[in-house]
């Protein structure tokens, strides 16, 4: 157990890609926590998907031991956090477990949308903030300008910001000193009853559920019987220790310490993040305030391409949920796609990550249906239903009004692209709330329907600004609008998985675009296939895929049957990636691609 | 020795991989060489033939086909040596069909008589088009006049002649093809091979097409109309389509190609030649090295230039049988399909109901509606 005055706890926060994980690498290395031989880039990004995409998805904790210039040895607990907006929840939760934040800002990029969002969260959490200007090794780095920007835009003192290169290690020793001298030591009473925060939990194939915890008061030891104050669960601690970053057993954990424990907990669901852990016998009197739960905001259907794989999909989802409690899944049946799951995610990247993992780790080909948000449908009889799936839309005659979720979006963009960004937001039914300048960059704040954002807004934003804009959002509540359900009929039959909610004024354009897209996506068949968009019984757009009239190999290659066979095999493999609906084969990617808007 | 007839027939395919120039649409195994040592090639072809002959003893040989490339660049002596060797190895059937593919330039026409003396009794002429601008666009070395002269000459020399045309060419209208087809039918051959131009990856046309630089190709609708017109016109002239792209007076069908389509057996020699024959109860699929010099070197050292020689699993034999036999108007036998190892065809009923396939007791065949979309029918049938 370490004395609190020799402990410093902090999170590393930044906009995506500003170098959090690389800074964590250097801190780990310079404190000798991991030998040079075992070191690799972004050491903490251990998941395949994290390494492939070069981003952090899951927050990670490491305990470092640092001999400071004052001659004393300190325990530093760092939490590396993800930068992407979808995982903002991970960041806010991590911040609750520590007293300070290193705010990393890429000195060649400057302040971005998530820089701002993170600062506000850190201030909310009463954090001491140490600004760190990273990537000063880059020729494009302008630390002086970025310092000014931090003061102007964020309004915090940047005179003592540390200039570093996380890549080369320059300046990192100063970061270590700043952690010790500028961040507060944790408070806490070791003689008080145990009060520890359940920060996170995950499932480990060998250990079962592992709980990440921060002790506020008291001491916890192996063998202790503990109580979860919110869920009421009682457990006996099997194992307890710290992350270096591998799990290392410890005798006990005292106030200010961060570590893990296992206690024969069966499912991640049996734990509630933000819960307070105390002793069974000697309980603390007041629980910690807890976290606001994370709520899925984007929903889509996941169906196996091969309907025989439904049970495999169910298993895979259950296993993955053990590790990621932030995505939800409920069984769903679709006339078009059969059995599957309606899943909820924190955002589109989260959706992609989960889908990727299901496909790769469990080897299931999936059809993903159009993402949707939760609509609040108010019926004439006074009832309100939450609509997760446009296919479930009740008869419009019974509906009084529909409300949709709206967000406050903050976009930072260089001046020259401002016009394009305003147009994009306007096209997506946005209402401008604010427009200010910070040097040559504009900061625009828009009130936008979430529905218009979840799908391809971020891609469009990146493309119209050539990647120079950054974006962050928060939910702000529900608002009524003229929303209707648009159905798509393929060969005169409605395909429920292609239904979407659209704004009445934009329905026709949307319907036309979808029919045109589907015409490209669905291969020709032996018969002609009408594709129609409809609102209620009214057809608002129509396209026709003409019948296949010619598909035959003309020549004969002197008895070379193999060549023909290969062609046929290729075609058959292509057909496997399709789902039959009525008499029509629809390729799996059509369900998402049909919605992508090019303009 | 008793001659043993083989189900579907038994043939010998000889591949001659050389051409005077490479046509921009062609993806056959053809190569341009300044000079070819014909004696050396003759020895190698004979060596590979005897290698296969040792594995297929005592059979009746129903046909020989010299394909290419351009076999009309072979010395008549080379052709003679191959035919003589073949009749030594197998029992050449009395009515054996011996076909040679010829390009209709005047130079080549000069060798026709020599081929006939060597034993060739059927000539297949690569006429391709009946007007000069189109022949030019196809990169052909002959003119329309030359082609007609070669054809007229061939008639006086060979008992049976066929010629090839490529249609659905750049800028070709339905009316233009109709006129050209009528002219072709007027030449009174008893066999015609009429191929729609296929744009193949890896050819010059393929490259142009990928870059959007090959203009005036007919769209699928026009191509389908051209195909339908071709079927009608030929049938009306007494040359019914007996295969997807082949038309003949009854009895004048190409017997060698029928061996492929009836899933008979054949030995293939020369670079890039394929074979299918049964040995020790196993049906084997053989293929040889594509590159001429690679094949030659291999054959000179090992006696064969094989790149593959593998047993075909029964289910695949059944699949291959359908793929080939359904190209024919006579269609396929369900009993044979089953005997080869085929599983029941579950899509049969649907395809019949859709009017794409017809069934008469044991035989199934694509209908006039099904033939132009045969690949789609096969996809459904073999899914
Ligand atoms: N030149 C230079 N590149 C750096 C420096 N620090 C980080 N990078 C690079 O910046 C990219 C992003 O670095 P990460 O450490 O993964 O960034 P991150 O903030 O953890 O990213 P997320 O976790 O996805 O939000 C990587 O390619 C790093 O190599 C630096 O000091 N100089
Ligand atoms: C083995 S090839 C060539 C024989 C001979 N060398 C010739 O060119 O006349 C047989 C026939 O296939 C046809 N053919 C070749 N390539 C083709 C293509 N890309 N599309 C359609 N038909 C083709 C031609 O009609 C050709 O006569
Ligand atoms: S079409 Fe005939 S002549 Fe032209 S390259 Fe091909 S094989 Fe040779
Ligand atoms: Mg990271």
pLDDT digits (tens, 9 = 90+) for A45-69: 988 889 888 899 989 999 999 999 9
Q: Is residue A289 assigned to a domain?
A: no
- Judge whether B65 and B28 are in contact, CB under 8 Å: no
- Judge whether A445 and A435 are in contact, CB under 8 Å: yes
Q: Given this model, what pLDDT does residue B246 score?
A: 98
**Structural domain spans, chain B:** 10-259, 315-383
Model confidence at A324: pLDDT above 90: no
| Sole residue written with tokens 């036998």 | B333
Domains of chain A: total: 5
pLDDT digits (tens, 9 = 90+) for A182-209: 999 999 999 999 999 999 988 888 888 9
pLDDT digits (tens, 9 = 90+) for A100-139: 999 999 999 999 988 988 998 899 899 999 999 999 999 9
Q: Minimal CA–CA distance to A76: which of A102, A37, A42, A40?
A: A102
Q: Is the CB of B149 under 6 A from ligand 3?
A: no
Q: Is residue A187 assigned to a domain?
A: no
Q: Is residue A52 assigned to a domain?
A: yes
Per-residue tokens: A154: 């964020």
Q: Are residues A416 and A522 in the same domain?
A: no
Q: Are residues A211 and A166 in the same domain?
A: no
Q: Is residue A384 assigned to a domain?
A: yes
Task: Calculate the alpha carbon distances from A359 to A86, A347, B271 in Å.
Answer: 21, 18, 44
Q: What is the CATH number of the domain that holds A128?
A: 3.40.50.300
Assigned CATH for B10-259: 3.20.20.70
Burial of residue A289 (number of CB atoms within 10 Å: 0-12, 13-18, 19+): exposed
Q: Are residues A54 and A144 in the same domain?
A: yes
Task: Calculate the alpha carbon distances from B213 to A262, B204, B220 in Å.
Answer: 67, 11, 18
Q: Which of A494-508, A576-590, B132-146, B206-220 has the lowest mean pLDDT?
A: A576-590
Q: Given this model, what pLDDT does residue B263 score?
A: 96
Question: Closest-CA residue in chain A for B324?
Answer: A561
Q: Is residue A315 assigned to a domain?
A: yes
Cα Rg, chain A, nearest whole Å:
27
* Residue A36: alpha-carbon gap to chain centroid: 32
**Ramachandran angles phi, psi of A248, nearest 5°:** -125, 130
Q: Is residue A476 assigned to a domain?
A: yes
Rounded-to-integer distance, Cα B224 and Cα B232, Å: 13
Burial of residue B214 (number of CB atoms within 10 Å: 0-12, 13-18, 19+): middle
Q: Are residues A448 and A522 in the same domain?
A: no
Q: Is residue A285 assigned to a domain?
A: no
Rounded-to-integer distance, Cα A388 and Cα A328, Å: 12
Q: What is the CATH number of the domain that holds A410?
A: 3.30.70.240
Model confidence at A599: pLDDT above 60: no
Alpha helix ranges (H) inside A438-550: 450-454, 457-464, 507-521
Which residues of chain B are within 8 Å of residue A564 when distances are taken between CB atoms? 323
Per the prediction, chain A carries an average pLDDT of 91
Q: Given this model, what pLDDT does residue A401 score?
A: 96
Per-residue tokens: A138: 């880059």
Q: Given this model, what pLDDT does residue B188 score?
A: 85
Element (H, E) at A175: helix A172-182
Q: Are residues A159 and A91 in the same domain?
A: yes
Q: Given this model, what pLDDT does residue B1 score?
A: 42
Q: Are residues A477 and A489 in the same domain?
A: no
Q: Are residues A331 and A447 in the same domain?
A: no
Task: Calculate the alpha carbon distances from A358 to A228, A308, A341, A351 in Å.
Answer: 31, 16, 12, 11
Q: Tell me which DSSP letter residue A369 carries.
A: P
**Sequence-separated (6 or more) residues with CB below 8 Å from residue B19:** B30, B31, B32, B68, B69, B70, B73, B103
Q: Report the residue of A524, A552, A553 to disrupt the B interface, i.e. the one with the largest count of B CBs within 10 Å.
A: A552
Is residue B274 within 8 angstroms of chain A, CB to CB?
A: yes
Q: Are residues A341 and A442 in the same domain?
A: no
CA dihedral A28, A30, A33, A38 (to 10 degrees): 80
Q: Are residues A221 and A142 in the same domain?
A: no
Q: Which domain holds residue A356?
A: 298-369
Q: Are residues A252 and A106 in the same domain?
A: no
Q: What is the number of the ligand closest to the CA of A83?
A: 1
Q: What is the CATH number of the domain that holds A263?
A: 2.40.30.10
Q: Which residues line ligand 2 (CB under 6 A)?
A: A 554-555; B 25-26, 28, 67-68, 70, 101, 103, 126, 128, 164, 166, 195, 197-198, 200
Q: Which of A126, A159, A182 is the last residue of a domain?
A: A182
Q: Are residues A175 and A216 in the same domain?
A: no
pLDDT digits (tens, 9 = 90+) for A404-439: 999 999 998 989 999 999 999 999 999 999 999 877
Q: Are residues A33 and A149 in the same domain?
A: yes
Q: Given this model, what pLDDT does residue A598 score?
A: 55
For ligand 2, atom 9, the nearest C-alpha belongs to: B126
Say yes or no: ipTM exceeds 0.85.
Answer: yes
Q: Is the CB of A19 under 6 A from ligand 1?
A: yes
Pick the CATH number of B315-383 from 3.40.30.10, 1.10.10.920, 1.10.1740.10, 3.40.50.150: 1.10.10.920
Which residues of chain B are within 8 Å of residue A548 when distances are taken between CB atoms? 220, 373, 376
Q: Which of A330, A348, A369 is the last residue of a domain?
A: A369
**Binned average pLDDT, 10 residues per bin, chain B of 383 residues:** 74 97 96 96 98 96 96 97 98 96 91 98 97 97 96 96 97 97 94 97 94 93 96 97 97 97 97 96 96 97 96 94 96 96 94 95 96 93 86
Residues of chain A that touch chain B, judged by Cβ-Cβ distance less than 8 Å? 526, 546, 548-562, 564-565, 567-568, 571-572, 575
pLDDT digits (tens, 9 = 90+) for A211-244: 999 999 999 999 999 999 999 999 999 999 999 9
Report CB contact under 8 Å: B383, A572.
Answer: yes
């Amino acid at each position: 157990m370490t004395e609190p005055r020799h402990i410093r706890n902090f999170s590393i926060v930044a906009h995506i890609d500003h170098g959090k994980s690389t800074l964590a690498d250097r801190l780990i290395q310079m404190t000798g926590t991991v030998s040079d031989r075992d070191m690799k880039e972004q050491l903490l990004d251990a998941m395949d998907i994290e390494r492939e995409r070069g981003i952090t998805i899951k927050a990670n904790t490491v305990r470092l031991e640092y001999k400071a210039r004052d001659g004393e040895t300190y325990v530093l607990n760092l939490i590396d956090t993800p930068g992407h907006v979808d995982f903002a929840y991970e960041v806010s939760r991590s911040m609750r477990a520590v007293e300070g934040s290193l705010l990393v800002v890429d000195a060649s990029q400057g302040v971005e949308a998530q820089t701002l969002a993170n600062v506000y969260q850190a201030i909310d959490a009463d954090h001491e903030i140490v600004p760190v200007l990273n990537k000063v090794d880059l020729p494009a780095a302008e630390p002086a300008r970025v310092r000014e920007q931090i003061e102007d835009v964020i309004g915090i003192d940047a005179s003592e910001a540390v200039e570093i290169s996380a890549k080369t290690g320059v300046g990192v020793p100063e970061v270590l000193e700043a952690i010790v001298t500028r961040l507060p030591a944790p408070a806490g009473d070791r003689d008080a009853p145990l009060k520890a925060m359940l920060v996170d939990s995950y499932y480990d194939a060998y250990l079962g559920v592992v709980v990440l915890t921060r002790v506020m008061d008291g001491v916890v030891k192996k063998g202790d019987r503990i109580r979860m104050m919110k869920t009421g669960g009682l457990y006996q601690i099997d194992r307890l220790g710290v992350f270096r970053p591998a799990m290392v057993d410890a005798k006990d954990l005292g106030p200010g310490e961060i570590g893990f424990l296992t206690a024969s907990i069966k499912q991640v669901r049996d734990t509630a993040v933000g819960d307070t852990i105390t002793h069974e016998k000697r309980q603390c009197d007041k629980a910690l305030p807890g976290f606001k739960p994370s709520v899925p905001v984007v929903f889509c259907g996941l169906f196996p391409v091969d309907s025989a794989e439904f049970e495999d999909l169910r298993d895979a989802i259950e296993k993955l949920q053990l590790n990621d409690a932030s995505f939800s899944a409920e069984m769903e049946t679709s006339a078009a796609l059969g059995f599957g799951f309606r899943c909820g995610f924190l955002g589109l990247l989260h959706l992609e990550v989960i889908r990727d993992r299901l496909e790769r780790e469990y080897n299931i080909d999936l059809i993903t249906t159009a993402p949707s948000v939760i609509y609040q449908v108010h019926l004439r009889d006074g009832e309100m239903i939450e609509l997760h799936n446009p296919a479930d839309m009740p008869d419009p005659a019974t509906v009084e009004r529909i409300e949709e979720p709206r967000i406050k979006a903050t976009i930072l963009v260089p001046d020259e692209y401002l016009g394009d960004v305003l147009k994009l937001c306007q096209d997506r039914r946005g209402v401008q709330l604010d427009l200010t300048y910070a040097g040559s960059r504009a900061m625009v704040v828009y009130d936008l329907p979430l529905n218009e954002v979840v799908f391809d807004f971020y891609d469009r934003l990146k493309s119209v600004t050539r990647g120079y804009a950054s974006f962050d959002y928060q939910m702000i509540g529900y608002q009524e609008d003229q929303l209707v359900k648009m159905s798509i009929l393929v060969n005169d039959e409605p395909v429920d998985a292609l239904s979407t909610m659209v704004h009445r004024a934009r329905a026709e354009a949307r319907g036309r675009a979808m029919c045109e897209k589907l015409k490209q996506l669905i291969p020709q068949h032996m018969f002609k296939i009408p594709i129609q968009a409809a609102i209620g019984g009214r057809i608002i757009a129509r396209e026709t895929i003409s019948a296949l009239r010619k598909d035959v190999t003309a020549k004969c290659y002197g008895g070379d049957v193999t060549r023909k066979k290969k062609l046929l095999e290729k075609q058959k493999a292509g057909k496997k990636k399709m789902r039959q609906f009525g008499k029509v084969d629809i390729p799996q990617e059509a369900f998402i691609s049909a919605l992508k808007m090019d303009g | 020795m008793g001659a043993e007839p083989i189900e579907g027939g038994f043939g010998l395919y000889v591949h001659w991989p050389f051409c005077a120039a490479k046509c921009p649409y062609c993806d056959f195994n053809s190569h341009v060489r300044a000079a070819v040592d014909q004696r050396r090639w003759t020895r190698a072809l004979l060596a590979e033939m005897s290698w296969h002959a040792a594995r297929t003893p005592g059979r009746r040989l129903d046909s020989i086909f010299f394909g290419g490339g351009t076999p009309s660049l072979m010395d008549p002596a080379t052709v003679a040596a191959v035919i003589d060797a073949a009749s030594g190895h197998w029992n050449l059937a009395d009515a054996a069909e011996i076909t040679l593919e010829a390009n209709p330039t005047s130079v080549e026409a000069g060798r026709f008589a020599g081929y006939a003396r060597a034993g060739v009794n059927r000539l297949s002429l690569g006429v391709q088009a009946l007007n000069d601008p189109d022949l030019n666009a196809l990169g052909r070395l002959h003119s329309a006049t030359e082609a007609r002269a070669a054809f007229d000459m061939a008639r006086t020399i060979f008992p049976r002649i066929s010629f090839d045309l490529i249609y659905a060419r750049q800028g070709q209208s339905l009316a233009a093809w109709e006129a050209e087809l009528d002219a072709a039918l007027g030449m009174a051959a008893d066999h015609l091979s009429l191929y729609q131009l296929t744009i193949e990856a890896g050819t010059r046309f393929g490259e142009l097409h990928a870059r959007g630089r090959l203009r005036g190709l007919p769209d699928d609708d026009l191509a389908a109309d051209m195909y339908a017109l071709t079927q009608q016109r030929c049938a009306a002239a007494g040359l019914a389509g007996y295969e997807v792209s082949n038309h003949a007076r009854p009895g004048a069908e190409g017997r060698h190609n029928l061996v492929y389509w009836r899933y008979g057996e054949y030995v293939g020699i020369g670079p890039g030649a394929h074979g299918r024959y049964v040995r020790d109860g196993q049906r084997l699929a053989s293929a040889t090295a594509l590159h001429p010099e690679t094949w030659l070197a291999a054959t000179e050292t090992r006696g064969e230039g094989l790149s593959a020689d593998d047993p075909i699993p029964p289910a695949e034999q059944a699949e291959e049988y359908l793929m080939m036999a359904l190209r024919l108007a006579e269609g396929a036998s369900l009993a044979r399909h089953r005997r080869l190892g085929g599983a029941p065809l579950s899509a049969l009923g649907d395809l019949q109901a859709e009017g794409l396939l017809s069934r008469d007791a044991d035989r199934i065949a694509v209908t006039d509606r099904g033939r132009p979309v045969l690949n789609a029918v096969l996809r459904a049938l073999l899914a």
